[in-house]
Amino acid sequence: AQSVTQPDIHITVSEGASLELRCNYSYGATPYLFWYVQSPGQGLQLLLKYFSGDTLVQGIKGFEAEFKRSQSSFNLRKPSVHWSDAAEYFCAVGARGSYIPTFGRGTSLIVHP
Amino acid sequence: DSGVTQTPKHLITATGQRVTLRCSPRSGDLSVYWYQQSLDQGLQFLIHYYNGEERAKGNILERFSAQQFPDLHSELNLSSLELGDSALYFCASSVESRFQETQYFGPGTRLLVL
């Protein structure tokens, strides 16, 4: 079965600084990978997803993620963080043939002014 | 706003009770998914319905059941509630049930069992 690890429970950055949120997955083949964001009091919103092809994926709100097969990672990046990016971020993995993702435990992003 | 609505927003009840959570998918979406988010277990898939039929089950307890009605709204029934059932329950919808599709999440129902 697939699994996802988000090693950082909390990340604190200053507004305007760059951001990288880590995600490692475990799956025997090439997985489907997702990043979701959950703002306080809101449901999850899909930021980006990777199925195949170009390993650098562009998403909404200026986010991107890079799939690195050799490292079993799918880290989320943003060059300049805005205060409104403060939220919980979830990485998820889906197995080929299944449309139900397995979610990581999430990383809480705190943005200092 | 994702277009998925969930009612109620908050629910406080006692152990042993039964509650019903309601979800209305986006217009045109045939699939509804239910998830539970708790501090202990994180975000877990419970069950998926497609056009009225159950398609997949995840970590759903026997005390929990769901259905999807002809108008495509869905209800999640939780019975014999325990303290550990306190959680945020999300539903999500998508057009079909293919892996390529984006799931759109509702704002959730926060359940507190006292």
A44: chain B residues, CB-CB within 8 Å: 43, 90, 92, 105
CB–CB of B100 and A43 under 8 A?
no
Q: Which amino acid is at B102?
A: T
Residue B105 and residue A50: Cα distance in Å, rounded? 19
- Across B96-112, average pLDDT: 87
Judged by a CB distance cut-off of 8 A, whether residue B105 touches chain A is yes
Nearest to B91 by CA among B36, B41, B51, B54: B36
Burial readout B84-104 (b: 16 or more C-beta within 10 A, e: otherwise): ebbbbbbbbbbeebeeeeebb
Q: What is the pLDDT of residues B2-16, one digit of tens each?
A: 899 999 999 999 999
Q: What is the pLDDT of residues B11-64, one digit of tens each?
A: 999 999 999 999 999 999 999 999 999 988 899 999 999 999 999 898 899 999
- In chain A, which among 45-84 make CB contacts under 8 A with chain B? 45-46, 49, 51
Residue B97 has pLDDT above 80, yes or no: no
Burial readout A20-36 (b: 16 or more C-beta within 10 A, e: otherwise): ebbbbbebeeebbbbbb
pLDDT (0 to 100) of residue A95: 77
Instruction: Tell me how crowded residue B69 is: count the other CB atoms within 10 A of its CB.
Output: 11
